[in-house]
Structure 1
Amino acid sequence: MLKFSTSQAGRRNVAKTPIWQWSATETAAAIKTRKVTSEEVVSAHVDRMHEANAAINAVVVDLSKDAMKAAKAADRALAKGNDIGPLHGVPVTIKINIDVEGQANSNGVVAFKDNIAPGDSPVTSNLKKAGAVIIGLTNTPEFSLRVCTDNPLHGLTLNPWDPAVTCGGSSGGAGASIAAGIGTIAHGNDIGGSLRWPAQCNGVATIKPTQGRVPAFNPSATAERPLMAQFMSSQGPIAREVRDVRLGLEVMAQRDPRDPWWVPAPLKGPKLKGTINVALAKIPDDMNTDPGVISLLRKAADYLADAGYRVSEVELPDLNGVWQLWCDLIMTELQVLQEEQMRAVTSADFNQTLDAVLALSTRLDQAGYIKAISDRSRHIRNWMTLLEDYPLLLTPTTVRATPEVNADLGGHKSVKELLRNDLRFISSMNVLGLPAAVVPVGLHKGLPVGVQIVGSRYREDLCLDAAAAIEKRAGILVRKLWER
């Protein structure tokens, strides 16, 4: 078990807590009111990164030298009375599969180790405009297409709770770094659970935004992604506290003309009348579940009821069909447009896992692909109709305990159990394009368990409100990690 020190001194007006343990919200406020300098804050996080990262390998590109320069510049700007952004001088991390100007967007692939970004992605740009200081880039599996974070270029990322279990994927470096106290907000992205699964594994919070909420584009890209991959993928924040997830979303969601799918929807929707109904998802009969994990799902339902929500158990519309649609669409696009190029530059581990995922899917012909896209609209309509009566859906993030490191290398059966059984509730949300938050509820056998809260399109605010209500009762889970 990894041990983390909490001995570092730091200034904070609420309590004598190490700076690296402060929330992003607290950190930004302390810098703005000059109770602490950005240089002090970034230095504390750099020290923390150098202390903790050696044991987990979450941050694989160290940008601390540039970060310290940026922190000093942030302090000078504040001293001059310049306008400052909501994350002015606050340390963050970026996943290595989006562009940071001058850095390699390797996406965990050895062949891309020199793929230097000619400019910033929209998320990177928005974070910089908000004043954030990037202290490092976090790890991801090859092509960000595994549920465990390991690659031949940067190696294996470990879970700070227990190195024997996975930190998740593909934003595993982001989730592990945040849990370990490296940075205040970590960027990640999600095409099949890649924000929410690492949040679950590492005991932190996140939100997969609605498709079109956060702009996405990589200047280093040589071709556009397939259409459904564009529609299923979302950029988003991972943080230790729900309020920081909300702050990160507000910053990341700012307009960028390079994304034609970006939608100028308000971040706060109209207030709902009366008591908010929450549908607690019925677990499909064919799912193999861990009673301890499911008991924490029901505890989360009790927390919401205690907070004033009305919770009822409800069967979700054709969950199995929605998951299969996700798998068929994403794998068909990959096979037609990407598979040959991927296999030419990837490892045996990647190819083994890809073979297992392909075995779960049906390769669609032209007519089948067109019909599947049409069926997607029907599924979305059915779920949107349910969300009219139940504005929030409470589901498992996973129905079983976090598996061992590189569990997806255990053969076709293991991959099927992971994707189709354990993670069915989260991957299905990508093809629907619905917002989905994850918040920790508690520990099962010493490991974190979170739940997923799904809302209607562009109602991330409702998802995060409910996540905050659970967090208020469950507590900030990573504090238990730091107390060990």
Structure 2
Amino acid sequence: MTTDNPTSSDSPTVGADLGDQLWRWNATELARAIATGLISSREVVESCLSRIEDVNPHLNALVEVRPEDALSLADAADRQRSSGAQLGPLHGVPVATKVNSDVAGYATTDGIPAFKDSAAKQDSAHVASLRRAGAVIMGRSNSPAFAYRWFTNNDLYGRTLNPWDSSRTPGGSSGGAASAVASGMVPTAGGNDIGGSVRYPAYACGVVGLRPTVGRVAQTYQSDEVDSSLSVQIMAVQGPLARSVEDVRLAMKALEDFSHRDPAFVPGARAAKLPGHRPRVGLVRDFGVAAPSSAVNTSLESAADYLCDAGYVVEEIELPVLAEAYRLWYLLCMEEFRLAMPLVDEVGDDGMKKAAEHYYAVAQEWWGNKPSLDQFIAGYARRGTLIRQLGGILESHPLILLPVSSEQAFEQDADIASVESMRRLMGAQASMMAIPVLGFPAMSVPTGVVDGLPTGVQLLGRRFDEDTLLDAATVIEAHAGTFTPIGPR
């Protein structure tokens, strides 16, 4: 194992060749410079379009880019600034949206050929929030079919590559978003997370990804005409991916916007106040499902040291509640998804069908071949108990430091290689499923590069207390540095 510490790509100083360099700037720098008139949104969009032209043909991270539309939005943003209008937090800043989120006039394809002409009539609630914040929609990021895998590949658009190593997954399902952000195509992108789909791609590509509390960001995960399953309503969230913690914080300001269209939205919700000193952090290396690799364990130790240096009290704790919640996800979510399997059989791709077969094969060991309605009802009842248990632990340790995954980025298509391979992946990804079941916020923060692949840690916190997560992530980032944007390797 070799540990690399590549120098992060610092933003250029004023006076540099802006046309070549603006794609390197982070979203916070861009928003500030656009708002003050130092640069124009058009200059930024032109720079990002040039970067997309250079690297996207190889990475295939953005699957629908409309340069004329993006430039038109940029020009409108510049006119607004010149008029003295009040500007939103992402005014004039390029963002990418995911192919499973509605954007008016774009097809919500979900990576499925049968849906390639399914143009949305209106923006999803979270996309509308980005527009009101002034963001420039640059394009659509790739996703596996039905956003179902930790690998971003589908029959409509093909495979997205990890810019660090094309033989490894960029993560899923927001793999296109993570690859695009890491390679400098856009400074920030939207993702959604019901089973790690923000946190894992961020981890695999060396960027920051936040899964907010359920109800914090108003969303419409599916079009308003579709009845979303219960698990989607109470577990799925929209969250940002970016190259820095401050950019994730900025994106959250844009996303925390009221909408009546989300039945789970909780306007104005706040966590209980913290004590007036640095919180205690519970360090969890292994909660009883999969032991971390050497690289992951080293990342945990480094992050713990950084937090201790900043005055946090870090203590190793046990957290078996997550092991139970992980298995429960495969009852509650997967049994509801079984209702969609006829549609999958009709329009889904072979990779997704094989992944589903393997998921169900492993889950059968816990829940049987066909779980009963009684089991399903009892599972939801148990969910409430586990939420209370985790909430109690977070009263004494308002932050928990744990792995994102027990391994670094998986080999491409490891989930469909065999049932045994899927079993290994499911164990490695246990927290990706456990945390959504319980509805708490969590985020992925990079800490370094080992053997040419990013590694990092996950922070888990109290409901509606994203600020405490972001504060701790800022400490870790200040010590570890940032590792993107990078060119494809």
Instruction: Give the structure-2-normalised TM-score.
Output: 0.93
1:310-338 Cα offsets, whole Å, 9 max, x none, are 00000013322110001111011111x21
Which of 340, 343, 346 matches 1:344?
Answer: 346
Per the alignment, residue 472 of structure 1 pairs with 478
Other-structure match for 1:401: 408
Note closer, same or farther for the CA distance 1:294–1:282 as it changes in structure 2 (3 Å cut). Answer: closer
Q: Is the 1:250–1:267 Cα contact (8 Å) retained in structure 2?
A: no
Question: Structure 1 residues 15, 385: closer, same or farther in 2, change over 3 A?
Answer: farther
The reply on whether 1:443 has 2:446 as its aligned counterpart is: no
- Matched AA of 1:19: L
1:196 and 2:203 equivalent?
no
Residue 3 of structure 1 is matched in structure 2 by none
Counterpart pick for 2:135 among 132, 136, 153: 132
Q: Which moved more, 1:211-220 or 1:468-477?
A: 211-220
Report deviation, 1:286: 5.1
Matched, 1:170 2:176: no
Question: Counterpart in 1 of 2:105?
Answer: 102
1:64-463 map, 5 Å? 64-217=67-220, 220=223, 222-266=225-269, 270-284=273-287, 287-335=290-338, 337-361=339-363, 362=367, 363-419=370-426, 421-463=427-469
Q: Counterparts of 1:14 and 1:378 in 2: how far apart (Å)?
A: 56
When residues 76 and 305 of structure 1 are mapped into structure 2, their CA distance, relative to the original with a 3 A threshold, is same
Out of 287-296 and 54-63, give the one that drifted further.
287-296
The alpha-carbon deviation at position 11 of structure 1 amounts to: 6.4
Q: After superposition, what is the alpha-carbon deviation per residue over 1:438-482, rounded to whole angstroms, capped at 9, x for unaligned? A: 100111111101111000110011011111110000001215x35
Specify the SS of the correspondent of 2:460. Answer: strand
Amino acid aligned to 1:366: L
8 Å contact kept, 1:157–1:167: yes
Residue 114 of structure 2: SS of its match in structure 1? helix
- Contact kept, 8 Å, 2:89 with 2:253, in 1: the verdict is no
3-state SS in 1 of match to 2:56: helix
Supply the AA of the counterpart residue of 1:360. V
Q: 1:296 to 1:138 in 2, by over 3 A?
A: same
Q: Which runs of 5+ in 2 are unaligned?
A: 1-7
Higher RCO, Cα 8 Å, sep 6+? 2
C-alpha separation between the residues in 2 aligned to 1:155 and 1:437? Answer: 28
Aligned counterparts of 1:246 and 1:101: Cα–Cα separation in 2: 26
Aligned in 2, Cα 1:152/1:289: closer, same or farther, shift over 3 Å? Answer: same
Question: Alpha-carbon deviations, 1:255-279, whole Å to 9, x = none?
Answer: 1111121011357874532231000
Deviations 1:86-126 (A, max 9, x none): 11111000011010001000011111111110100011101
Any conservation in 1 of the 2:108–2:116 contact (CA below 8 Å)? yes
Residue 46 of structure 2 corresponds to which residue in structure 1? Answer: 43
Q: Contact 2:214/2:439 (CA < 8 Å) preserved in 1?
A: yes
321-330 or 220-229, larger mean C-alpha shift: 220-229
C-alpha offsets along residues 297-321 of structure 1, whole Å, 9 cap, x if unaligned? 1111111111111000000133221
* Inter-partner Cα distance in structure 2 for 1:162 and 1:377: 41
**1:397–1:426 contact (8 Å) kept in structure 2:** yes
Aligned-residue Cα RMSD (Å) equals: 2.1
Contact preservation (8 Å) 2:77, 2:92:
yes
Render the CA deviation track for 1:215-249: whole Å, top value 9, x for unaligned: 11157454211112221101010000001001111
Alpha-carbon distance in structure 2 between the residues aligned to 1:282 and 1:292? 12
The letter for the 2-side match of 1:423 is Q
Judge conservation of contact 1:265–1:458 (CA < 8 Å) in 2. Answer: no
Where do 5+ consecutive residues of structure 1 fail to align? Answer: 1-5
Q: Structure 1 331/266 Cα, relative in aligned 2: closer, same or farther at 3 Å?
A: closer
Q: Normalising by structure 1, report the TM-score.
A: 0.94
Contact 1:213 1:264 in 2 (8 A): yes
Q: Deviations over 1:15-47 (max 9, x none)?
A: 988111111111000001100011101111111
